Amino acid sequence: MSLPNNQKRTFTNSKLARLSLLIGLGLILFLVESFIPRPLPWLKPGLAHVATLLAIYLMSNSAAMIVVVTRVIVGSLLLGSLFNPAFMLALAGGIAATSAMGLVYRYFSRTFSIFGISILGAVVHNLTQLSLVALLLVHRIETFYLAPFMILTSIFTGFIVAFVSYLLISRIRLTIF
Amino acid sequence: MQNRTNIFSLSQILKIITPGDKILIVLILALGIISLITLNHVRQPGETVTIEVNGQALYHLDLNTSQQVTVTGSIGETTIKIDHGAARVTYSDCPEKICIKTGKIHRAGQVIVCVPNRVVVTIEGKRKNQFDVITQ
């Protein structure tokens, strides 16, 4: 199928290359993070969202969504958890967090810096997963007793993710993107 | 980045953080602390242990009687041990052993969940609306 000449090509080679780079980055962080032993099962820094933030800031919201969905699918394939409950939770949390961060970046990027956006994303990610666990998997309202701890640790982990992303964005922008 | 500012420094980060960020952080902090306080306030001491498999309650056990129960879930067996007023999972066929790592639970509302095996262990207190005193 040939495209008409006047139609803008939305998927250029350069875009494809940059997307792949970010998916690769997200995948590596996702996998490395899953090998680090965690003191509590739900406590995870969420470093893979560095790739999401980079995609939002350096490319677009749709690119960020592609990065997250591909990262979760390929990452689960590599970890052997494709289509199990953990995969569903990762996918749902990732999509919700990316939507929240993308929308806030598009409409309120003057109000919130990357730190605010990242912390918001972390909170949305955690609460989405917690709600899904409570509503779909275990049907217990008691699951929400974890919510305060998740919200409080989200501030910390969101901050770390934002810091890493900020360092990367300020350097990458000059070279590749 | 023409100038040689140290981007690792705290003052540099503080320059980036907007007032909106600070408000957001304070709000989330407040939300966390308020939910922590309210949830701890409603929480009661545990009385009974309920063990659910695939959403069906199989056992209602007394938290103060030492005993051990093995249930069969979706992928294998899970062993729950109750002693000294606390419950914990001692054996599970699931791959990640999150239920075992959760450790002991003893207060009402605490849960151990084994997602792969579909086993939920819940501590329940006395029925709700047990107020110590009501002030006006």
Q: Look at residue B60 and tell me whether its pLDDT is greater than 90.
A: no
Percent of chain B with pLDDT over 90: 12
Query: Does residue B7 belong to the interface with chain A, where contact is any CB pair within 8 Å?
Result: yes
Highest mean pLDDT (candidates A86-90, A123-127, A131-135, B56-60): A123-127
Evaluate whether B51 touches B29 at the Cβ level (below 8 Å): no
Residue A2 belongs to some domain of the structure: no
Per-residue pLDDT band for B44 (boundaries 50, 70, 90) equals: low
Evaluate whether B43 touches B108 at the Cβ level (below 8 Å): yes
Residue A8 belongs to some domain of the structure: no
| pLDDT tens readout for residues A148-165 | 999 999 999 999 999 999
Q: b or e along A77-116 (b: 16 or more beta carbons within 10 Å of the residue's beta carbon)?
A: eebebeeeebbbbbbbbbbbbbbbbbebbeeebeebbbbb
Residue A26 belongs to some domain of the structure: yes
Query: Does residue B25 belong to the interface with chain A, where contact is any CB pair within 8 Å?
Result: yes
Q: Look at residue B136 and tell me whether its pLDDT is greater than 60.
A: no
Fill in the amino acid letter for A44: K
**B9 vs A50: CA distance, rounded Å:** 20
Residue A128 belongs to some domain of the structure: yes
| pLDDT tens readout for residues A14-73 | 889 999 999 999 999 999 988 888 777 778 888 999 999 999 999 999 999 999 999 999
Which of B21, B56, B94 would you mutate first to test chain A, the one with the most A CBs within 10 A? B21
Asked if the Cβ–Cβ distance from B111 to A123 is below 8 Å, we say no
Residues recorded for chain B: 136
* HEC sequence for B43-56: CCECCEEEEEECCE
Strand partners, B82: B67, B87
State the pLDDT at residue A25.
94
State the pLDDT at residue A38.
78
CATH code of the domain containing A150: 1.10.1760.20
Asked if the Cβ–Cβ distance from B115 to A139 is below 8 Å, we say no
State the pLDDT at residue B129.
41
* DSSP H helical ranges for B2-135: 10-16, 19-42, 98-102
Asked if the Cβ–Cβ distance from B16 to A114 is below 8 Å, we say yes
Greatest C-alpha distance within chain B: 70
Residue A134 belongs to some domain of the structure: yes
State the pLDDT at residue B101.
85
Residue with more model confidence, B117 or A177? B117
Q: Look at residue B2 and tell me whether its pLDDT is greater than 70.
A: no
| pLDDT tens readout for residues B23-36 | 999 999 999 999 88
Q: b or e along A7-43 (b: 16 or more beta carbons within 10 Å of the residue's beta carbon)?
A: eeeeeeeeeeebbebbbebbbebbeeebeeeeeeeee
Total count of domains within chain A: 1
User: Domain containing A138: what range?
Assistant: 14-34+45-175
Q: Average the pLDDT over B37-61 and give the result.
A: 81
| pLDDT tens readout for residues A91-116 | 999 999 999 999 999 999 899 999 99
Tokens of residue A63, six digits: 């690119």
> Who's near B109: CB < 8 A, 6+ residues apart?
A142, A145, B39, B42, B43, B44, B122, B123, B124, B125
User: Of A80, A143, A89, A129, whose CA–CA distance to B113 is shortest?
Assistant: A143
- Average pLDDT along chain A: 87
State the pLDDT at residue A175.
62
Residue A152 belongs to some domain of the structure: yes
- Kindly report the number of other CB atoms within 10 A of residue A117's CB atom: 28
Q: How far off is chain A from B10, nearest CA to CA, in Å?
A: 11
Residue A1 belongs to some domain of the structure: no
Chain A residues closer than 8 Å to B110 by CB:
142, 145
Interface predicted TM-score (ipTM) of this complex, two decimals: 0.82
Residue A3 belongs to some domain of the structure: no
